[in-house]
DNA sequence: TATTTATTTGCATTTATGTGCAACAATGAA
DNA sequence: TTCATTGTTGCACATAAATGCAAATAAATA
């Protein structure tokens, strides 16, 4: 396992491994439809700008994706990507040598 | 999902989501037998005391376990626990509403 | 006992990260 | 165009986290 891949996985896990970001993930997990930032603000007790920044980090790591809809952004959890990465890692953990 | 569980999962993910700690996890992943701190030092370019602290954090989160063997400690990856937690989370991500 | 080896802990320092507030940009509505 | 709404970015600050070095602890060995 080369350093770049280790770093990439670490970044992914670190992105979800923060309380407010994980709260956002769970919030989106319970939503059938994409949500805008204002709505997502309800789940963590911080400024909207903070939520915006957290969503940016989650988006960079492929944990959420979004569509621009007018002046709003509709965020959704990238369930497939997140689940796949977690399971791949779990398999490695149990499979290696 | 209550705050305590979210915090607990965040702590777990944060523990693995750091480059040197993830390197330690991968190192242990390739070992059939438990390893002591000196041996584990080889995989990350930091002081032994730093490795010791990282292992402590990993142990607190149930990612590694260890046995005292004289003056050494033999660390091993808790494959089952790590894999299970990752898969449970993956299932939640894909299952929830 | 004195010494070497393995590991942890205390302390200081640096770096990274989360946060709020204010200002800005972009879009929609009056 | 003017105003309101939605969201992001710049800046400053506080806190958390990673790190190295030295000292302390614990156990094996000479």
User: Over the stretch A46-79, which tens digit does the pLDDT of each residue have?
Assistant: 999 999 999 999 999 999 999 998 899 999 999 9
Res B47 pLDDT > 80? yes
User: Mean of the pLDDT values across residues A21-49?
Assistant: 95
pLDDT at residue number A89 = 98
User: Mean of the pLDDT values across residues B38-64?
Assistant: 97
pLDDT at residue number B33 = 95
Is B23 an 8 Å CB contact of chain A?
yes
Res B23 pLDDT > 90? yes
Question: How many whole angstroms separate alpha carbon B68 and alpha carbon A63?
Answer: 40
Q: Which residues in chain B are closer than 8 Å to A14, comparing Cβ atoms?
A: 13-14, 17-18
Q: Which residues in chain A are closer than 8 Å to B80, comparing Cβ atoms?
A: 94
Cβ(B36)–Cβ(B52) under 8 Å?
no
Contacts 24+ apart (CB under 8 A), A83-87: A83/B90, A83/B91, A83/B93, A83/B94, A84/B90, A85/A9, A85/A12, A86/B86, A86/B87, A86/B89, A86/B90, A86/B93, A87/B86, A87/B87, A87/B90
Cβ(A18)–Cβ(B10) under 8 Å?
yes
Q: How close does chain B come to A71, measured CA to CA in Å?
A: 27
Res A97 pLDDT > 90? no
Q: Which residues in chain A are closer than 8 Å to B92, comparing Cβ atoms?
A: 29
Question: How many whole angstroms separate alpha carbon A92 and alpha carbon A84?
Answer: 12
pLDDT at residue number B31 = 94
Half-sphere exposure of A29 (CA within 13 A, CB side): 21
Q: How confident is the model at residue B7 (pLDDT cuts 50, 70, 90)?
A: very high
| Nearest by Cα to A2 from B23, B55, B47, B82 | B23
Q: How confident is the model at residue B3 (pLDDT cuts 50, 70, 90)?
A: very high
User: Mean of the pLDDT values across residues B48-57?
Assistant: 98
Q: With H, G, I as helix, E, B as strand and everything else as coil, classify residue A86.
A: helix
What class is the A3-95 domain?
mainly alpha
Quote the mean pLDDT of chain A: 96
User: Mean of the pLDDT values across residues B8-26?
Assistant: 98
User: Mean of the pLDDT values across residues B50-60?
Assistant: 98
Cβ–Cβ below 8 Å for B94 and A80: yes
Cβ–Cβ below 8 Å for A6 and B17: no
- CB-closest option in B79, B87, B96 to A30: B96
Question: How many whole angstroms separate alpha carbon A89 and alpha carbon A83?
Answer: 10
User: Mean of the pLDDT values across residues B6-29?
Assistant: 98
Res B97 pLDDT > 80? no
Quote the mean pLDDT of chain B: 96
Cβ–Cβ below 8 Å for B22 and A9: yes
pLDDT at residue number B63 = 98
Cβ(B62)–Cβ(B81) under 8 Å?
yes
Is B69 an 8 Å CB contact of chain A?
no
What's the Å distance between residue B70 CA and nucleotide C6 C1'? 9
Cβ–Cβ below 8 Å for B86 and A86: yes
């Amino acid at each position: 396992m080369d350093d770049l891949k280790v770093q990439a996985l670490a970044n992914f896990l670190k992105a979800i491994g923060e309380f407010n970001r994980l709260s956002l993930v769970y919030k989106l997990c319970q939503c059938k439809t994409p949500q805008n930032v204002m709505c997502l603000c309800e789940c963590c007790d911080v400024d909207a700008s903070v939520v915006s920044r957290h969503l940016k980090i989650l988006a960079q790591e492929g944990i959420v994706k979004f569509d621009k809809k007018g002046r709003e952004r509709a965020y959704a959890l990238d369930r497939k990507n997140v689940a796949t990465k977690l399971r791949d890692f779990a398999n490695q953990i149990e499979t290696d040598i």
